[in-house]
Structure 1
Amino acid sequence: MSDVGRKDFGDKAKETIKPDSEKSYYEQGKEKVSDEYDKLAGKLQPEENKSTTQSLGDSAQRGKDSAENKGESYSEQAKEYMDSAKSKLNEAVEYVSGKVHGGTDAAEGAAKDSRATK
């Protein structure tokens, strides 16, 4: 049960279960406004004045909002890390290739030099 003046948990559950495609524009708009109002009320109402269930509900809502917001930044961050990793891997491949081929060239040159001096 939610606190007085707050959106009822049962209503939230019903709204979540019913797909947006089955809702009218009026229903969708009403839900959006009431959700935003409830989020604001949750931020303004001091924790000590909330019931245990309301406090848990607000905490869950904050976690959900945070996860949704971080989802985009995490995917962007992951792409940046992947690009950076690819770049570093290419640098490593070039370095190793240079050492292997450079080492082979140097060894061949040394062998030629030793043959020429004999």
Structure 2
Amino acid sequence: MSRVIKRVPAEYVTEQIGGGVICPKCGAGNWKRTTPEKCPICGTMEVPDPVRYIKRRIPGYVEVRCDCGETVICDGFTNTCDRCGKDYNWNGTLLAPRSQWGEETGETEGDIILGV
């Protein structure tokens, strides 16, 4: 019986973008300094680069121990075991065999594979 061995929830991280000083002419920048000086490349006066913060989502995933012993990482809509070919959904639930997919809706296996 397959079982979930690990759940990693999605998380949001705050990242800093910008900061330091940047040359408006050549684009060279120094992210360690905050006071403008003359650009060592082109001699133009550098300008402060404003600090901005963004939130970025890091998606979660589920690890499942398949019946065959292989570990399957479920991070997409359908996740297939490389060893035995069993399919799992994003939550780590074992799906019906592919031969049964579309039985309720009248789809064929070709329709499912082609995404029609």
Q: Name the TM-score class by shorter chain.
A: under 0.3
Q: Which structure has the highest helix share of the two?
A: 1
TM-score normalised by structure 2 residue count:
0.20
TM-score normalised by structure 1 residue count:
0.20
Computing the radius of gyration over CA atoms, which structure comes out larger, 1 or 2?
1
